[in-house]
Amino acid sequence: MNLILLSAALLTVFLPSVPQQKSATTTRTTAKTVVVTTEPNAIVWIDEIRRGTTDASGKLSLSQLSPGSHKVRVRATGFKEATMPLAPGGRAITVKLVTTTDEAELKFQEAEAARETARDDAEKEKAAELYRDAIKLRPAFPTAQVGLARLLMSLNQFPKAHAAIDAARRSRPIYPEASAIEGRIFHESAFNDEAIRSFRRSIREANGFQPEAHVGLARVLEEKGQFEEAVLEYRKAIAQLSDSEPVIYQMLGATYEKLEKPKEAVVAYEKYLELSPNGSYAGAIRSILDQLKREAAGEQIIP
């Protein structure tokens, strides 16, 4: 059986924080498309899941958005961040941003941009200093502490990353994103039992809606050989992300292979190819699909 191996780098596709108002579900509903209009090159989050950046005209079209109410958060360099509700049935929303002179906020925005573009350890260290500068200007700055923790984790500076998470929690005791990052730090440093506790805490704090924690928990469970439980967590993350992260279907397919369920693996891999035909794993998946389909012949899919 050919397996597409997962790497720790897969989880870096997620930069979500976490909403408090939704509960976990794997129910599929008809998706809708929403157009967000705001400043050019602004980052847009839907329900605290990052969904993209606006174009030069300030627009971003989002598909695969589940029906119901949503929360839209927008950040653009030089502007104060804003959050607005999107009513059920809404197809368009305009988020007007106000310029800011808050030095801490501006330094934080600079740090976020530097972290996302950092390509080596030296650039990451420079971004870390920008986060620290923002925190000096505003000591109670939990979002900056979490950004710093993500960066320190990528540098394998695990004790310092834990310290940043602890600092974030001092000013925001219930903080699902911080708990999810804490779980990832524990996992990266091979403390899997502690990682499971942190991921489960994150999910509790978010009332079930925390895709980063669900994926993190799935990976740990998979490593422990608890493949069925891992499948459940991957499926929760897929439902919560509304198919915006095709890579999770690749993870799910690999787990089904380990369970020796080729038909289910085929379904997951074909969904990945549907959503990301030119993705990083597309070539490898296509190379094994025929073999998996032969193995799946005559089997019945287990939902």
**298 found inside a domain:** no
**53 found inside a domain:** yes
Contact 292/265 with Cβ under 8 angstroms? yes
- The string of DSSP letters for the chain reads -------GGGGGG------SS----------EEEEEE-STT-EEEETTEEEEE--TTSEEEEEEEPSS-EEEEEE-TTB--EEEEE-TT--EEE----B---HHHHHHHHHHHHHHH--SHHHHHHHHHHHHHHHHH-SS-HHHHHHHHHHHHHTT-HHHHHHHHHHHHHH-SS-HHHHHHHHHHHHHTT-HHHHHHHHHHHHHHTTT--HHHHHHHHHHHHHTT-HHHHHHHHHHHHHHHTT--THHHHHHHHHHHHTT-HHHHHHHHHHHHHH-TTSTTHHHHHHHHHHHHHHHTT-----
Which residues constitute the domain of residue 66? 32-94
Contact 40/55 with Cβ under 8 angstroms? yes
**199 found inside a domain:** no
CATH code for position 40: 2.60.40.1120
pLDDT value of position 63? 79
**45 found inside a domain:** yes
Q: Burial code of 104-137, b = ≥16 C-beta within 10 A, e = fewer? A: bbbbbbbbbebbeebeeeeebeebbebbbbbbeb
pLDDT value of position 8? 37
Q: Burial code of 84-96, b = ≥16 C-beta within 10 A, e = fewer? A: eebeeeeeebebe
**44 found inside a domain:** yes
Q: What sign does the dihedral 213-178-195-208 (CA atoms) show?
A: negative
**41 found inside a domain:** yes
Tens digit of each residue's pLDDT, the chain (303 residues):
343 333 334 444 444 433 333 333 333 445 578 899 999 999 999 888 888 999 999 999 987 677 788 899 999 999 999 999 998 888 899 999 999 999 999 999 999 999 999 999 999 999 999 999 999 999 999 999 999 999 999 999 999 999 999 999 999 999 999 999 999 999 999 999 999 999 999 999 999 999 999 999 999 999 999 999 999 999 999 998 877 789 999 999 999 999 999 999 999 999 999 999 999 999 999 999 999 999 988 755 554
The number of distinct structural domains making up the chain is: 1
**120 found inside a domain:** no
Query: How far apart (Å, rounded) are the C-alpha atoms in residues 25 and 297?
Result: 31
Global confidence as pTM? 0.83
For residue range 93-116, what is the model confidence (pLDDT) as tens digits?
999 999 999 999 999 999 999 999
pLDDT value of position 6? 37
**82 found inside a domain:** yes
